[in-house]
Amino acid sequence: MTDPAAARGALGTARLMLLFTPELSGERDPLEALALALPHVDVVQVRVKSERADAVSPARALAEWTERVLELVARAPESPLVLVNDRVDVAATRAAHGAQIGHRSLPPELARDVLGPHATLGYSAHDEQELAQAAAHCSFALLSPVWPTSSKPGAAFLGVERAARLTVAARLPVLWLGGVDEQTIASLRDAPAEGRPAGVAVRSAIMRADDPQRAARALLAALP
């Protein structure tokens, strides 16, 4: 079990997480988008959402993209954390900094056993129960969806008021995901200071941006 102080230290002072999803970058090289945003990103979570046309399995594609991201990040002046979505085996074998898991992944205690006590372990949470499940073994929770999101059209969302209450009650750092952009971030100023998230996580707002560097910089500037 990790204690809260160690968990918070593992997350550091992260404010902006990029869910690096290659499929979202369209015709642009996904690594080009990442390189542009990298100076303003604290955590990169590598996700692969579909099989490649050359029949490479999702697990292998995830491993390959993780290697490329780690190589790029290693050359950055200030290297962000690199996490692997869901697959703790890929995170461990590719020497990533940790993984992001959810209720369909390994239970948090088993994921912690695989990754070791010092790895960063995030948990995708949607309610009080999942936040409580994350608290004992995880470094932070990714709470979603806070706002309406294009990735899940029509899905129910938490809203700032409920997300703030959940964040206050959580026993670990919480980042918010879902519909994050400059306008929605501005609404955080209406939330009590103790209910604001440690940071936010984005996909499309950077991966699909015409200027990923400007987008990442603007998101950070909008945070209260």
| HEC string for 165-186 | HHHHHCCCCEEEECCCCHHHHH
Give the C-alpha separation, 180 to 163, whole Å. Answer: 13
Arithmetic mean of pLDDT over the chain:
90
pLDDT in tens, 160-196: 999 999 999 999 999 999 999 999 998 888 788 899 9
Q: Are 92 and 63 in contact (CB under 8 A)?
A: no
- What is the 8-class DSSP label of residue 150? T
The pTM of the full predicted model, rounded to 2 decimals, is 0.91
Residue 200 scores a pLDDT above 60: yes
Residue 8 scores a pLDDT above 50: no
pLDDT in tens, 74-98: 999 888 999 999 999 999 999 999 9
> Which residues make beta-bridge pairs with 141?
123, 174
- What structural domains does the chain harbor? 4-222 (3.20.20.70)
Per-residue model confidence (pLDDT) at position 6? 44
Which residues fall within 8 angstroms of residue 71, CB to CB, at 6 or more apart?
none
Q: Which of 147 and 9 is assigned the larger pLDDT?
A: 147
Helix (H) or strand (E) holding 131: helix 128-135
